[in-house]
């Protein structure tokens, strides 16, 4: 267990991404609430022997709580000012929404009365209800038992976070992203609660330092007055744009933007920041490299190089062949849009086009994909339990939620076209029909529309990456269709095996329909060879 006291910045491998970000925030003197973290290695030890680990760990957890009490001036489970905490997961590599969180822990009937006396009956009742709902969902979904003893609550929550490491959704996520065996587990961060639901001067939100859909260098995010963080992420509420925070709390908005700029410069990457405002005071609760669409990945990589935050080699490493494949995937033929029927429209959450038969549950999406059928997953809102279906689907559409909801964030990570917030009941009649989803415009069209293929040269940022890659790659990759490719072996830009087979056979000039993904594959292999990775 380590205290996040600002004395040092802890590595992701030791404390996970969430606590790494908090240690950076605290060390920089930016506003956050006190926290301590049970390390990633404790999770590994938990699965080797749960009871033995908890017996060794618990005195340290009690010591950590005593430190939080001293830092906050509150008392865990008792008055006069009770301390409530959040218990959150954090893997070394970002796995948004895949593992469990419990908020408002430490409350019971007695503590609710203390909070009611100090902060108001409505706030106390709301906070207790939120805790009971989340605890039952995360810790004891079978029996729904919520212990009154705050220490028993804490032990249950810590255990649940560890167990969520091997939940079906977390395992499916690691498998999809080829992360199996590369991390020891998840850390558990225990942090003093701050309350976005406290009063009219409170709220919660998410800020991206750059637009995660387009890469545009403008702040992008959402704000939910009188809400807690799970309200925004869950997609059950429709938050306001970040400009609403600027309108009502301009000083806090400015403070937030300045903190985001500092964190982006320090991390040399676009940031995803979760924040809460409690009675007019800002608290930063998380910062991490932002999940972004393929279009944004290309745009941000080029922009950061031009701004001097990263060099050309790093810019090239920030874009993957898979992201380029997404950008080079066919788009809707412009001429087909004139007569197309719009069935629904919402907030664009991840660019791209996906088409198929509409299914309304994740099991159906996975079953259809296993049979080779293209499907579009439609949900009121998604939860971590929908990740398998989201992986299987060609596109995701939701009735509720905004651009920082679970559906939006996970879809950008999966590079799956996504439209959110289409409106309550707007998608109810789509089950079984064939649709085409344009995640760039937020529109859902009837039928399977004809498509056309884009090219690297049409996008100035991709063209820049192509120039840089050609300057640095020892293999020349020409584009199919040019006169100079006659007689050259043609490699598939989607198939690394065909690319590496040609190069390993001694070819130093090859052709491909799309040269840039091939060049990035070769540059990545060269970097891995230099690091001794095979």
Residues facing 344 on adjacent strands = 444
Residues 173 and 232 reside in one and the same domain: no
For 516, the 3-state DSSP assignment is: helix
Q: Which of 474, 486, 464 is nearest to 518 (CA)?
A: 474
Residues 524 and 387 reside in one and the same domain: no
Task: Decide if 304 is inside a domain.
Answer: no
Residues 29 and 165 reside in one and the same domain: yes
Residues 393 and 381 reside in one and the same domain: yes
Task: Decide if 313 is inside a domain.
Answer: no
pLDDT in 10s for each residue of the chain, 534 residues:
999 999 999 999 999 999 999 999 999 999 999 999 999 999 999 999 999 999 999 999 999 999 999 999 999 999 889 999 999 999 999 887 788 899 999 999 999 999 999 999 999 999 999 999 999 999 998 899 999 999 999 999 999 999 999 998 899 889 888 888 889 999 999 999 999 999 999 999 999 999 999 999 999 999 999 999 888 877 778 899 999 999 999 999 999 999 999 999 999 999 999 999 999 999 999 999 999 999 999 999 999 999 999 999 999 999 999 899 888 888 899 899 988 999 999 999 998 899 999 999 999 999 999 999 999 999 999 998 899 999 999 999 999 999 889 999 999 988 899 999 999 999 999 999 999 999 999 999 999 999 988 888 889 999 999 999 999 999 999 988 776 777 888 999 989 998 999 999 999 999 998 999 999 999 999 988 877 655
pLDDT at 221: 95
pLDDT at 53: 96
Domain holding 403: CATH number? 3.50.30.10
Residues 185 and 269 reside in one and the same domain: no
Check the CA dihedral 464-465-471-476 and report its sign: negative
State the DSSP H helix or E strand holding residue 361, giving kind and residue range, or none if neither: none
Task: Select from 397, 426, 452 the last residue of a domain.
Answer: 452
pLDDT at 76: 97
Residues 207 and 78 reside in one and the same domain: no
Residues 176 and 227 reside in one and the same domain: no
Task: Decide if 422 is inside a domain.
Answer: yes
Q: Which of 352, 350, 355 is nearest to 412 (CA)?
A: 350
CA 153 – CA 336 distance, rounded (Å): 57
Residues 220 and 144 reside in one and the same domain: no
Residues 108 and 250 reside in one and the same domain: no
Which residue shows structure tokens 């009956």? Answer: 121
Domain holding 228: CATH number? 3.30.470.20
Task: Decide if 44 is inside a domain.
Answer: yes
Task: Select from 193, 224, 243 the last residue of a domain.
Answer: 193
Residues 1 and 74 reside in one and the same domain: yes
What are the two backbone dihedrals, phi and then psi, of residue 180, each rounded to the nearest 5 degrees? Answer: -60, 130
Residue 29: count of CB within 10 angstroms of its CB: 9
Task: Decide if 299 is inside a domain.
Answer: no
CA 62 – CA 398 distance, rounded (Å): 42
CA 433 – CA 358 distance, rounded (Å): 6
Task: Select from 452, 480, 513 the last residue of a domain.
Answer: 452
Query: By the 8 A CB rule, do 370 and 224 touch?
Result: no
Residues 117 and 256 reside in one and the same domain: no
Could you tell me the residue range of the domain that residue 125 belongs to?
1-193
Task: Decide if 232 is inside a domain.
Answer: yes
Task: Decide if 300 is inside a domain.
Answer: no
- Produce one character per residue of 348-387: b if its CB has 16 or more CB atoms within 10 Å, e if not: bbbbbbbbbbbbbebebbbebbeeeebbbbbbbbbbbebb
Residues 132 and 182 reside in one and the same domain: yes
For 198, the 3-state DSSP assignment is: coil
| Residue 288 CB contacts under 8 Å (≥ 6 apart), including other chains | 17, 18, 21, 94, 271, 272
Task: Decide if 138 is inside a domain.
Answer: yes
**DSSP codes, 48-86:** H-HHHHHHHHHHHHHHHHHHHHHHHT-EET-SSSEE-EE
pLDDT at 329: 81
Total of domains in the chain: 4
């Amino acid at each position: 267990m380590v205290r996040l006291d600002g004395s040092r910045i802890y590595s992701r491998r030791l404390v996970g991404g969430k606590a790494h970000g908090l240690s950076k925030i605290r060390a920089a003197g930016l506003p956050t609430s006190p926290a301590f973290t049970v390390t990633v290695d404790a999770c590994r030890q938990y699965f080797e022997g749960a009871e033995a680990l908890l017996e060794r760990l618990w005195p340290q957890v009690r010591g950590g709580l005593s430190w939080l009490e001293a830092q906050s001036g509150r008392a865990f489970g008792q008055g006069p000012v009770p301390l409530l905490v959040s218990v959150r997961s954090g893997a070394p590599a970002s796995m948004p929404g895949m593992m469990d969180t419990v908020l408002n822990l430490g409350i019971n009937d007695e503590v609710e009365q203390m909070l009611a006396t100090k902060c108001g009956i409505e706030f106390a009742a709301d906070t207790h209800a939120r805790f009971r709902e989340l605890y039952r969902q995360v810790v004891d979904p079978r029996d729904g038992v919520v212990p009154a003893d705050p220490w028993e609550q804490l032990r249950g929550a810590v255990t649940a976070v560890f167990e969520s490491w091997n939940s079906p959704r977390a395992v499916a996520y690691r498998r999809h992203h080829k992360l199996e065996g590369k991390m020891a587990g998840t850390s558990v961060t225990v942090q003093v609660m701050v309350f976005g639901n406290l009063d009219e001067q409170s709220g919660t939100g998410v800020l991206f330092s750059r637009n995660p859909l387009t890469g545009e260098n403008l702040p992008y995010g959402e704000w939910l007055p009188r809400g807690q963080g799970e309200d925004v992420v869950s997609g059950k509420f429709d938050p306001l744009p970040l400009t609403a925070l600027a309108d009502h709390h301009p000083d806090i908005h400015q403070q937030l933007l300045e903190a985001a700029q500092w964190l982006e410069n320090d991390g040399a990457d676009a940031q995803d920041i979760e924040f809460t405002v409690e009675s007019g005071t800002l608290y930063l609760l998380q910062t991490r490299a932002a999940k972004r669409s393929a279009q944004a990945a290309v745009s941000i990589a080029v922009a950061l190089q031009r701004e001097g935050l990263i060099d050309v080699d790093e810019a090239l490493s920030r874009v993957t062949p898979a992201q380029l494949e997404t950008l080079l995937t066919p788009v809707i033929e412009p001429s087909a849009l004139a007569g197309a029927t719009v069935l629904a429209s919402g907030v664009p959450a991840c660019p791209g086009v996906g088409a198929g038969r509409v299914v309304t549950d994740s099991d159906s999406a996975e079953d259809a994909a296993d049979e080779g059928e293209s499907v579009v997953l439609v949900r009121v809102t998604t939860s971590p339990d929908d990740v398998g279906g989201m992986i299987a689907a060609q596109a995701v559409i939701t009735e509720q939620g905004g651009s920082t909801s679970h559906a939006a964030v996970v879809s950008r990570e999966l590079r799956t076209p996504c439209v959110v917030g289409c409106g309550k009941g707007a998608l109810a009649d789509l089950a079984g029909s064939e649709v085409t989803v344009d995640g760039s415009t937020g529109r859902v069209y009837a039928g399977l529309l004809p498509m056309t293929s884009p090219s690297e040269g049409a996008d100035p940022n991709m063209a820049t990456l192509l120039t840089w890659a050609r300057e640095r790659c020892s293999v020349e990759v020409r584009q199919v269709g040019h006169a100079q490719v006659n007689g050259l072996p043609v490699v598939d830009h989607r198939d690394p095996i065909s690319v590496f087979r040609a190069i390993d056979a001694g070819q130093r000039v090859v052709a491909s329909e799309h040269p840039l993904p091939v060049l990035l594959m070769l540059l990545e292999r060269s970097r891995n060879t230099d690091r001794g990775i095979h």
